[in-house]
Structures are given as C-alpha cells and as structure tokens.
C-alpha cells in the first residue's frame, strides 16, 4: 500500500518511527509537508500537487498536523478525503479536538468526567467566573496553548483575578478549570488506536511543577489502568471521531477526568516508557481498515 504521512519534519521521532513501521511491513511511504501542498478545487477531479507532481495512488494518509498549521493542514486532509483516500484521522475530528472549548462541550454532552470548567469573554464578573470553577486554586489556560504553554496555576483568588485580567488584556480566549490537587502533578496519557487503549503511561512533572508534559521536563512510567479509565479514554476518542488519539486523564476523587484529547499524539515518550511498538500498531489498524469509501465525511465537514 502507498501511504502518505503529513508531517512538516521527517526527522521527528514520531515521523521516523512511522516510516520505519511502514517499510518493515512492505508499504511504500512518502513524508509530505502539508504546507508545501497546493490543491485544485474542482467538481469532477479534485487534486493535490506537491513539488510539481500530483499526489496520486495513496491507499491511506496519516495526518501529523501541528497545532500551528491546523487551518491549512486540515484543508489538505479534507482534499484527500474528497479524493476518496482513507485518512486515519479525518479533518473534522482533528479540528474538533484542536478547539479546546468545543471538545469539552462535546465530552460533557456525552457525560464523560471533566474538571469543572469556566469560559468567558468579559472580565467584568471575574470573581463569579472563579466561583463557578470552584474557586482557587484553579488552572487558567489559553485556549490556543499546547504542550503546557499558556497554562497557569493560580493558588489564590487574587492571583486568579490578576492572571485572567492579564490574559484578557491580550484579547486571548481563556478557560478556567478546577485544580485536581489529589492528582499530585501527575496525569495519565492513554494512547488509543481504533477502539482500544494500546498503551498508557503516567507522566509526572518535575519538582515544583504542576504541568506533567514531558516537553517541560516531566518523567514517564508505565501505569496500569482501571477499567473505568480505559473506557473513559476510548469513549473520549470516539466522541472526537479520532481513530488514533492521545487522551490525557487525571485521577480525581470522583473518578477519571479528561484534560485533553490529542489528535497527533507523540510516539517517543510512550514507546520508550512502555517498550511497545505503537507505530506498528497504527499500521495494523490501517491494514485492517483502509479502503476507498471508508471516509465518513468525504470532506463535507
């Protein structure tokens, strides 16, 4: 099968591992920079060109769309969908998961565990917003932040007011969330492929750091999930419409709560922590599921 990996950097660990897995399983693989793709929008024969040549004959596409290029990256994925190419994660699902507010609304509608969250445009009633989220301490997040950037722990009500007003002064969209103290600065990354959690790890922030992102110096160890945690992760990926997802959950006193659902989860941390061949598992899924006509939205979203 001819497989395209949409990635801006072929040297990234995740991209390299996917290329290795494809080659080991006898597939033809091409790494495509989505920002260098250009498209013809036509009723009869939509096409994508890359480096002066049409991109044709692909059996599957693996989107690895970074947050900074979501708009154009999902347009490229949508074009592949219109060409009836199977996309492991579809454009609508990627866009949905990137919008933190929309994803939380969708998850809450399905009754999944979430931290109490507030969202507002105006700071006129900041104290009431803080109270709605359960009061200090609380976590304040930029809606567009990734990898722990734009996430602040406000330990007092005054600090929370100051941070919210500062963010709003920058015209930034913000979320305020209850701080799950009992999680102890640790979260669990569940790697979902299809309808199954194929690997999980606990990430713990470095000393004095409440953010557990490995990019910020956090450490990772294997962890055994409870049936409820496993079910929560799978359902969260399904609500987003993602076939491959990294679901981040916290262990709270009232069960697992979902922090985020990631549509381009990194492979390095979880493969090294668990010793599992996640890239190979993704290709197993592709081999079972990739076929013309399997795309649900066909670029309609």
Distance CA 158, CA 51 (A): 54
CATH class of the 2-95 domain in this structure: alpha beta
Distance CA 147, CA 107 (A): 21
Collect all residues with Cβ–Cβ distance below 8 Å to 256 and sequence separation of at least 6. Answer: 113, 188, 226, 228, 229, 232, 249, 250
Q: What pTM was computed for the model?
A: 0.86
The rounded percent of the chain whose pLDDT value lies above 90 is 58
What average pLDDT does range 290-301 have in this prediction? 62
User: pLDDT tens digit string along 87-105?
Assistant: 999 999 999 998 888 999 9
Distance CA 94, CA 105 (A): 15
CATH of 99-112+182-284, one of 3.30.470.20, 3.20.20.140, 3.90.1170.30, 3.20.20.70: 3.30.470.20
Topology of the domain comprising 117-179: Dna Ligase; domain 1 (3.30.1490)
The closest of 186, 222, 188, 197 to 278, measured between CA atoms, is: 197
**Domain residue ranges of the chain, discontinuous segments joined by +:** 2-95, 99-112+182-284, 117-179
Q: What angle do the packed helices 227-240 and 100-109 form, to 10 degrees?
A: 120
Which comes out higher in pLDDT, residue 191 or 166? Answer: 191
Mean of the per-residue pLDDT values of the chain: 88
**DSSP per-residue codes, 66-135:** -GGGHHHHHHHHHHHHHTT-EESS-HHHHHHHH-HHHHHHHHHHTT-----EEEES--TTHHHHHHHTTS
User: pLDDT tens digit string along 205-247?
Assistant: 666 555 555 555 567 889 999 999 999 999 999 999 999 999 9
């Amino acid at each position: 099968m001819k497989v395209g990996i949409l990635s801006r950097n072929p040297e990234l660990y995740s991209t390299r591992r996917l290329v290795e897995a494809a080659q080991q399983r006898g597939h033809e693989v091409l790494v495509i920079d989505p920002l260098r793709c250009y498209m013809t929008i036509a009723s009869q024969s939509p096409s994508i060109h890359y480096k002066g040549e049409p991109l044709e004959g692909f059996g599957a596409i693996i989107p690895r769309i970074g947050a900074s290029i979501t708009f154009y990256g999902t347009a490229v994925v949508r074009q592949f969908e219109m060409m009836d190419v199977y996309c492991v994660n579809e454009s609508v699902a990627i866009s949905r998961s990137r919008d933190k507010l929309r994803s939380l609304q969708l998850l809450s509608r399905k009754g999944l565990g979430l931290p109490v969250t507030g969202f507002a445009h105006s700071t006129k009633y900041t104290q009431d917003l803080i109270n709605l989220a359960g009061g200090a301490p609380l976590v304040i997040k930029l809606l567009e932040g990734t990898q722990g950037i734009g996430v602040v722990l406000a330990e007092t009500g005054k600090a929370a007011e100051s941070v919210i007003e500062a963010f709003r002064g920058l015209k930034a969209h913000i979320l305020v969330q209850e701080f799950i103290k009992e999680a102890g600065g640790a979260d669990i990354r569940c790697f979902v492929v299809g309808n199954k959690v194929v690997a999980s790890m606990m990430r713990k922030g470095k000393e004095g750091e409440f953010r557990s992102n490995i990019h910020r110096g956090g450490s990772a160890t294997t962890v055994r999930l409870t049936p409820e945690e496993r079910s929560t992760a799978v359902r969260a990926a399904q609500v987003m419409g993602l076939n491959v997802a990294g679901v981040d959950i916290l262990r709270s006193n009232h069960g697992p709560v979902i922090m985020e659902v990631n549509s381009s989860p990194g492979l390095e941390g979880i493969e090294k922590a668990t010793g599992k061949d996640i890239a190979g598992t993704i290709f197993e899924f592709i081999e079972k599921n990739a076929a013309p006509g399997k795309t649900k939205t066909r670029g309609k979203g």
